[in-house]
Amino acid sequence: MKIYIEENYEKVSKRAALIMASQVVLKPDSVLGLATGSTPIGMYEELIAMYKRGEIDFSNVTTFNLDEYYKLPIENENSYYSFMMNTLFNHINVKKENIHLPNGMTESVEEECKNYEEKIKKAGGIDMQLLGIGGNAHIGFNEPADKLSVDTNIVDLTQKTIKDNSRFFDNEEDVPKKAISMGIGSIMKAKKIILLASGEGKAEAIRDMTNGYINTQVPASILQAHPDFTLIIDKDAAKLIK
Ligand SMILES: N[C@@H]1[C@@H](O)[C@H](O)[C@@H](COP(=O)(O)O)O[C@@H]1O
Question: Which fold would CATH assign to domain 2-129+146-205+232-238?
Answer: Rossmann fold (3.40.50)
Entry pTM: 0.97
Taking alpha carbons only, the member of 127, 131, 73 closest to residue 105 is 73
Contacts of 12 (CB under 8 A, 6+ apart): 4, 6, 42, 43, 196, 197, 198, 232, 233, 234
pLDDT the model gives residue 52:
98
| 13 and 233 Cβ atoms separated by less than 8 Å | no
The pLDDT tens digits for 160-201 are: 899 999 999 999 999 999 999 999 999 999 999 999 999 999
pLDDT the model gives residue 242:
84
Distance CA 233, CA 239 (A): 10
Domain ranges of the chain: 2-129+146-205+232-238
Least confident of 8-12, 83-87, 166-170: 166-170
CA of 135 to the centre of ligand 1 (A): 8
Taking alpha carbons only, the member of 65, 56, 212, 227 closest to residue 131 is 65
ipTM above 0.90, yes or no: yes
Q: Whose CA is nearest to atom 4 of ligand 1?
A: 140
What 3-state DSSP class applies to 178? strand
pLDDT the model gives residue 195:
98
Q: Of ligand 1's atoms, which has the minimum distance to the CA of residue 157?
A: 16
Q: Strand 62-65 and strand 229-234: pairing? A: unpaired
Q: What's the whole-number average pLDDT of the chain?
A: 97
